[in-house]
Amino acid sequence: MANVAIIGAQWGDEGKGKIVDLFTHDADVIVRYQGGNNAGHTLVVNGKKTVLHLVPSGALHAEKLCVIGNGVVVDPEVLIDEIRALKAQGHLANDEQIRISEQAHVIMPYHKLIDQARERLRGEGMIGTTGRGIGPAYEDKIARVGIRFVDLLEEDTFREKLERNIQEKNFYLKAILKEKALDFDQIHDSYCQFRDQLKGYVTNTGLLLDQKIRAGKRVLFEGAQGTLLDVDHGTYPYVTSSSTITGGACSGSGVGPQHIQQVIGISKAYTTRVGSGPFPTELHGPEGETLRREGAEFGATTGRSRRCGWFDAVGVRHAVRMNGMTGIALTKLDVLTGFKKIPICTAYRYEGKTIDEFPASSKVMQGAKPVYEEMDGWDQTLDNVRNFSDLPLSAQKYVKRIEEVIGSEIILVSVGPGREQTILLKNPFEK
């Protein structure tokens, strides 16, 4: 019996929603440990689409406990709306099903305002953030001025912290960002209402998880974004502000590393990215358009169209090593149907040198050119394939070659958005 972490191996949007939902059947507890409502996980169940931003994907299964860990930054208004929408669909009948860490930080209106104003001022050099206040909320956490749920719950602590923060942020907003000042009373009143609606969910989730693990319950750690957006190991500064990797699952949930036995990376059979930043295999012509159209590559959170390109083994290899991945779920293989040739990027070229490892330098990464190995494509639709051996031979070879160049076993291949459109080769929970 294993506890499993599911982590994006690329720049996010790898199809984690579907895979987490699939493995949720084998888990008792599902934990979000980083990020916030910058994430968007699309689940398609019985043809019905549900997009979750904050609530862990287990919410669609009545008996699964959903934990929002201490490493998550929570916009309370968004969480309340999401819970309300899920309840309206008949989910979350039992309020005990969702638990929020008392140590999770709260996203405040000034975080969103600062995020958006900074992006406007950056102009060409913008990061392309989701504008949800994620970065500024994590900044406050690290600067030790953030407001946690436990602070929000204590009336005097909340008032004191908010007063101090509003004073500082208003100065910054007006003098530096040329924005209007925010009103203390308005924010205080609305956040007191949010507190009243959410306080029943707030608890010591680290302790709760420990109790569940001791009781033999199986935990699924649900990553958001992806390894290449990790604040340390991604394409800095074009990254998100949290630790998206396995290590982040421990610090962001308060669970020790010995309790995570399996780490499953999710990777598309090609590559996408939203927002700015280097992307060596990006396709700017008709092939990129085809991937976008066939893969419906539009953001679940912001609706932005995703940049598309060929599979980048340098990035995924880096993710395999950085996370200690024990297996990879390869998603959206069906989208590649119809291409005569499918290149795999196995290395980069920069100033006459071949680079096999993911470079730390933003300059090198921006100038890196992909070294491709061409694989044969296939024409058959894969939508109804349920066994690996029923895949066209060239699709099998493509998957096997990816396995070799990234140095990790592929344990699942996804051939469509539906739960049933899956070729499961190994179940990590049954290790």
What are φ and ψ of residue 22, in 5° steps?
A: -60, -50
Contact letters (x/-) for ligand IMP, 84-123, by CB under 6 A? ----------------------------------------
- Contacting ligand IMP (CB under 6 A), which of 15, 17, 56, 135? 135
Answer for which of 66, 74, 100, 229 binds ligand IMP (CB under 6 A) is 229
In DSSP notation, 109-156 reads HHHHHHHHHHHHHHGGG-----SSSHHHHHHHHHTT---BHHHHHSHH
From the list 88, 75, 85, the residue with the least C-alpha distance to 38 is 75
Backbone angles phi, psi at 284, to 5 degrees: -100, -10
Q: How far is CA 214 from CA 102, 356, 376, 413, in A?
A: 21, 42, 49, 32
Give the torsion sign (CA, 307, 313, 317, 323): positive
Identity at 12, one-letter amino acid code: G
Strands (E), 139-295: 202-203, 219-222, 262-268, 271-273
Regarding 18 and contact with ligand IMP (CB under 6 A), the answer is no
Catalytic amino acids? Answer: 13, 41
Stretch that binds ligand IMP, among 116-124, 127-135, 342-350, 393-401 (CB under 6 A): 127-135
Q: Which of 6, 29, 1 is nearest to 212 (CA)?
A: 29
Assess 71 for contact with ligand IMP (CB under 6 A).
Answer: no
DSSP state of 388: G
* Residue 39 makes contact with ligand IMP by CB under 6 A: yes
> Which residue of 130, 253, 331, 408 would you call a contact of ligand IMP, by CB under 6 A?
130
Indicate which single residue of 24, 50, 57, 129 sits in contact with ligand IMP (rule: CB under 6 A): 129
Applying CB under 6 A, the site for ligand IMP has a residue count of: 21
Binding of ligand IMP by 179 (CB under 6 A):
no
From the list 81-89, 103-111, 128-136, 196-204, the region that binds ligand IMP by CB under 6 A is 128-136
Contact code string over 261-290 relative to ligand IMP, x by CB under 6 A: -------------xx---------------
Tell me the HSE value of 333 on the side-chain side, using a 13 A CA sphere: 31
Residue nearest to ligand IMP (CB): 275
List contacts with ligand IMP (CB under 6 A).
11-13, 38-40, 127-130, 132, 134-135, 224-225, 229, 238, 240-241, 274-275
